[in-house]
Structure 1
Amino acid sequence: MKYAEKKPLSIWSVLSFLILAAFSIFVIYPLALVLYKSVVDPFSGALTFDYFSRFFLKKFYWETMVNSLQVTVCATILASLLGLPMAYLMRSVKIRGSSFLNILIVISYLSPPFIGAYAWIQLLGRSGVVTQLVNDLFGIAFDGVYGFAGIMLVFTLQSFPLVYIYVSGALKNMDNSLNEAAESLGCGRFDRIRRIIVPLVMPTLLASALLVFMRVFADFGTPMLIGEGFKTMPVLVYTQFMGEVGGDDGFAAAICVIMIGLTLAMFFAQRILARRSTYAMTALKPMVAEQATGLRNLIAHGIVYFVTGLAILPQLVVVYTSFLRSNGGQVFTGGFALQSYEATLFAKDNDAILNTYLLGALSIALVVVIGVLVAYLSVRKRSAVNSALDTVTMFPFIIPGSVLGISFLFAFNSPPILISGTMLIMIIAFSVRRMPYTVRSSAAALGQISPSIEEAAISLGASETTTFARVTVPMMLPGVCAGAIMSWVTIISELSSSIILYTNANQTLTVSIYTEVIRGNYGNASAYATILTVTSILSLLLFYKVTGRRDISI
């Protein structure tokens, strides 16, 4: 009896196992260690739930969870209520300068939220320009926009552009004949929006709301800067882990587990709701912006200009204050000067800018290479291993940055893998966090390429690897590059994991901005923030150049 020869192990199988092993080490293992530390006593090694008991029995601790959920849910709702009308107005009404306004909205989203918090402190803080003006004019004692109100202001204006981008893309692909049919049947404008447009874009609205929820829930910088006594879970886990008198690793791990549980619950809730409200739609007659007249035209322009102005205001404040002369601290003495740039760009032993660009470039290179390979394996080489790989690469999507940073220090602060304090640990952390977005965008680009093109190349004598390198990858490249540029912007704006993993040798721009604000060096903070903002704008222009588009639709 002849036995069939074993099929030789292909290079794709080897890559699958190697990438899965890498993600097991840098995703599964750190998270498993967080779970282990949260339920095991460090002295006796016995199973314990004391850390969780401490969290839920003391009001000071569980109140941070209530605060986080309160801020996150309210900011998500307000961002949706602001982003949806903005997208509808920009798509249905001809707004003067709409292309420029669209760019401003996207720029306001690309900036880190904590920069918005710092800018609003400059305007509405206790010594803010607007605060002093209001107090002088009306003779009141307004104490500044801190706590819940300040956090909500920053998160709403910072997050609605994400809803706007998503919903705008959905409206662009919507068949407007449904809207016209309802109009011909006597349905009013408001009823058409409520009964046709909103249900059709609901899956997209839920998807964008989930991203807003994840971003707001995980943000550390904004509540730390403007929250004052209003503490959230990212602030609590940071203070517990980085405590001056020695951090409490077990308690910090328990908080991390609770945070992951909450984001998991939100993720699955969104998936269930989206599945129930999914519609198949073909844009035979896309929505076209029409010229409005009278009061409707005035109201539409007023809303769009006002909201866009508020959204971009923090960036304008930061750029303006970066050129003001100061006493080296919080007080601007009047007049313009370049002293803030001299103190940042030309300071000795200041590598924050170089570190940011270097870390971002290396992280993006790793994200693109592995992301394209994972997308190809999961789409073209379907197997149990590749399905597991696709699932594992999505885990970081629901992990807050502070949790990822803490898990990395738990896992890689001692042999056999000792990389804490190095640039490598930050590169891996950035890459792992942004990998899900690149995998999804690469898989979408690959889905638009017919397998018959690859089959034709193989039938002409090209090997499978040659076909992948010389046919598949070049065809995927425009979409991959566009995604990489946007991922680059989010990487250089990362604070939550950076603030935990950085050392003086690998400090980044976001960490420098945060530390300068904490020290009260507002001029230096503005200079750093301006450099980051200009970098984001140049990256956005490069995105437009690569894609040939003048808007971002997801």
Structure 2
Amino acid sequence: MTTTRALSTSRFKLRWNSWDIITIIAFIFIILFMVYPLFNIFLNSFFYEGSFNFSHYKDFFTLKYYYSSLTNSLLVCGLATIFAICIGFPMAYILTRFDLPFKKIIHILIILTLLSPPFIGAYSWILILGNNGFLTNFLHSIGLNTPSIYGLHGMIWVFTVQFYPHIYLYVSGALKTMDSSLEEASESLGSNKLRKLRTVTLPLIFPTLSTGALMVFMASFADFGTPMLLGQGIKLLPILAYEQFINEMGSNPAMASTLSMILLSVSTGILFLQRYLVTRKSYSMSSMRPPKVIKLKPLQKFFAMLFVWLVLAVSLIPQITVITTSFLKTNGPVFTNQFSLDSYREVLFRVPQAIINTFSYSALAIVFMVVAGLLLSYIVVRRSSKISALLDTLIMIPYVIPGTVLGISFIVAFNKPPIEITGTWIILVIAYSIRKLPYTMRSSTAILYQIDRSVEEASISLGVPPMKTFFKTTAILMLPGVLSGAILSWVTTINELSSTIVLYTGATSTITVAIYSQVFTSSYGTAAALASILSLSTIASLIIVTIISGKKGIPI
């Protein structure tokens, strides 16, 4: 009897010790590769000529060269968010409330436009509306001198078209689960459709609408490629931070750190503002009676479909332009009307390593994210405590960290012993893992909440050790949800530019960096071929995640 109790006690301890060790390793990894780098640039921002002071912050708020980058960023991102709401909300309302054909196809195409990197959209619009763009030349030929895509208006346009799907996805989810009795009660009291929308529907979906708006603002605020390609002298915060850190005339790491901290502070401040606005009121409701789909009259259906397909067509222009132009022959920076595979041949000859690097680094990061997603989501869900809640919060912090900030913090922290990994492929894989892990974590925790504890308890009661039970039973059941998030992490990883542009060297260049370089050297054919490879990889990944999600009932 004593021996049996001893064995039982040892197994109990082993079970807890195994998960405790994983928790400790997770905290060490996060502290080392997220908290420590951010703390380094925080300290670095206060040093000027070897002494601790606020000189850099004073310069930022007093010199127009610096503070104008913040006002430009807030203007561009704020207007892009407003316009994204103006497009995304009607799209969501039309597609959820009315009986229209091809809804599933439209839904997938909208998601595709979101997963394509914004800097490819910027590059595509340069081909269309740039100084020598197709549409620009056509408009000039008929006497219309329209402005080119370059400038603040161009950035706002690209961000709006690129990120309105955030609003669409969040709002459509909320509209599908609304209790229709609330709207019916409003109608019975004499409210017309517009007043019902303003006084009932909008207030009820405000939390999800504001979350979508937050995602639009964060994504555009952190983006590096679009303002770099379209700015032409107009600085946004990520661009200025990058230029201060990597400058041919002499870098200023301390000022770059200051700009990075301001970037991070604004991102965090916007996040807290959104949460404050949401928590001011109660938005709870029953979803027992979801709204019925309304059948439209022929003319109404025509105009609804016209709006939807017009928005979708504009959204898909970047992908269509990139793929089409990649098969055209080039004469210097100018595309001809002749079909050719020269751009793809040139890609394979000039930058094959960038393609290999992109997929190999992303694959290594995804392997890490899948394993981490499985283990850490189990700790967060099944071993719920204050420690696991803190772990979950720390893992989600990269949502508000712009890639440029993370890249600068990594170089400041890891360019000297004991951890000297700057310039290696390792630093890129770690940066990708830190930045994209939240996607895998959220999908992993979502699927784990759906798995009954009794499955694990039955396995353990049959004598299978808890850790073995996890890998042989729970992990297998979680795998579809983990893979769904992992594929989305994969898509965003292969398209990552903002952190890569800071961390890469010649030997570790990726496709996104190669596209960026080719555009700046006016090698548009090669850039189009590389962008097509990314776009086709994104489409294939989206098809896979749709199949996985559809079969297992996991929301994308």
TM-score for the superposition, normalised by structure 1: 0.94
**What is the DSSP-based 3-state SS (H/G/I as helix, E as strand, rest coil) of the residue aligned with 1:212?**
helix
Q: Please tell me whether the aligned partners of residues 351 and 514 of structure 2 are also in contact (alpha carbons under 8 angstroms).
A: no
Question: Who is 1:326 aligned against?
Answer: 330
**What is the DSSP-based 3-state SS (H/G/I as helix, E as strand, rest coil) of the residue aligned with 1:333?**
strand
Question: Who is 2:196 aligned against?
Answer: 192
Question: Who is 2:30 aligned against?
Answer: 23
**What is the DSSP-based 3-state SS (H/G/I as helix, E as strand, rest coil) of the residue aligned with 1:420?**
coil
Which of residues 222, 227, 243 in structure 1 aligns to 2:247? 243
Q: Please tell me whether the aligned partners of residues 366 and 431 of structure 1 are also in contact (alpha carbons under 8 angstroms).
A: yes
Structure 1: give runs of 5+ residues left out of the alignment: none
Question: Shift of residue 277 of structure 1?
Answer: 4.4
Question: Who is 1:105 aligned against?
Answer: 110
Q: Please tell me whether the aligned partners of residues 324 and 335 of structure 1 are also in contact (alpha carbons under 8 angstroms).
A: yes
Question: Who is 1:134 aligned against?
Answer: 139
| 2:459 paired with 1:454 | no
Question: Who is 1:118 aligned against?
Answer: 123
Which of residues 214, 224, 227 in structure 2 aligns to 1:223? 227
Letter aligned with residue 187 of structure 1: S
Change (3 A) 1:38 1:553: same
Question: Shift of residue 250 of structure 1?
Answer: 0.4
Question: Who is 2:82 aligned against?
Answer: 77
Looking at structure 2, the residues matched to 395 and 182 of structure 1 have their Cα atoms a distance apart, in angstroms, of 40
Question: Shift of residue 265 of structure 1?
Answer: 0.5
Question: Shift of residue 546 of structure 1?
Answer: 0.7
Change (3 A) 1:92 1:551: farther
Write out per-residue CA displacement over residues 392-415 of structure 1, whole angstroms, 9 at most, x where no aligned residue.
212212110000001011111111
Task: Work out the percentage of aligned pairs sharing the same amino acid.
Answer: 43
**What is the DSSP-based 3-state SS (H/G/I as helix, E as strand, rest coil) of the residue aligned with 1:10?**
helix
| 2:101 paired with 1:96 | yes
- Which stretch of structure 1 is more off in the superposition, 309-318 or 348-357? 348-357
**What is the DSSP-based 3-state SS (H/G/I as helix, E as strand, rest coil) of the residue aligned with 2:194?**
helix
Question: Shift of residue 289 of structure 1?
Answer: 3.2
Question: Shift of residue 550 of structure 1?
Answer: 12
Change (3 A) 1:551 1:386: closer
Letter aligned with residue 39 of structure 1: F
Question: Shift of residue 348 of structure 1?
Answer: 5.0
Letter aligned with residue 378 of structure 1: V
Question: Shift of residue 374 of structure 1?
Answer: 1.7
Looking at structure 2, the residues matched to 126 and 349 of structure 1 have their Cα atoms a distance apart, in angstroms, of 27
| 2:349 paired with 1:342 | no
Question: Who is 2:21 aligned against?
Answer: 14
Looking at structure 2, the residues matched to 280 and 462 of structure 1 have their Cα atoms a distance apart, in angstroms, of 42
Q: Which runs of 4+ in 1 moved over 6 A?
A: 5-9, 549-552
- Which stretch of structure 1 is more off in the superposition, 276-285 or 512-521? 276-285
Question: Who is 2:288 aligned against?
Answer: 284
- Which stretch of structure 1 is more off in the superposition, 272-281 or 531-540? 272-281
Looking at structure 1, the residues matched to 441 and 159 of structure 2 have their Cα atoms a distance apart, in angstroms, of 27
Letter aligned with residue 18 of structure 1: I
- Which stretch of structure 1 is more off in the superposition, 351-360 or 170-179? 170-179
Letter aligned with residue 134 of structure 2: V
Structure 2: give runs of 5+ residues left out of the alignment: 1-8
**What is the DSSP-based 3-state SS (H/G/I as helix, E as strand, rest coil) of the residue aligned with 2:52?**
coil
Change (3 A) 1:31 1:88: same
Letter aligned with residue 23 of structure 2: S
Q: Please tell me whether the aligned partners of residues 362 and 490 of structure 2 are also in contact (alpha carbons under 8 angstroms).
A: yes
| 2:378 paired with 1:371 | no
**What is the DSSP-based 3-state SS (H/G/I as helix, E as strand, rest coil) of the residue aligned with 2:216?**
helix
Which of residues 248, 263, 274 in structure 2 aligns to 1:270? 274
Question: Who is 1:523 aligned against?
Answer: 525
Question: Who is 1:51 aligned against?
Answer: 56
Looking at structure 2, the residues matched to 101 and 364 of structure 1 have their Cα atoms a distance apart, in angstroms, of 28
Question: Shift of residue 474 of structure 1?
Answer: 1.8
**What is the DSSP-based 3-state SS (H/G/I as helix, E as strand, rest coil) of the residue aligned with 2:171?**
helix
Letter aligned with residue 119 of structure 2: F
Looking at structure 2, the residues matched to 96 and 173 of structure 1 have their Cα atoms a distance apart, in angstroms, of 21
Question: Who is 1:482 aligned against?
Answer: 484
Q: Please tell me whether the aligned partners of residues 203 and 278 of structure 1 are also in contact (alpha carbons under 8 angstroms).
A: no
TM-score for the superposition, normalised by structure 2: 0.94
Question: Who is 1:380 aligned against?
Answer: 382
| 2:38 paired with 1:35 | no
Looking at structure 1, the residues matched to 186 and 555 of structure 2 have their Cα atoms a distance apart, in angstroms, of 26
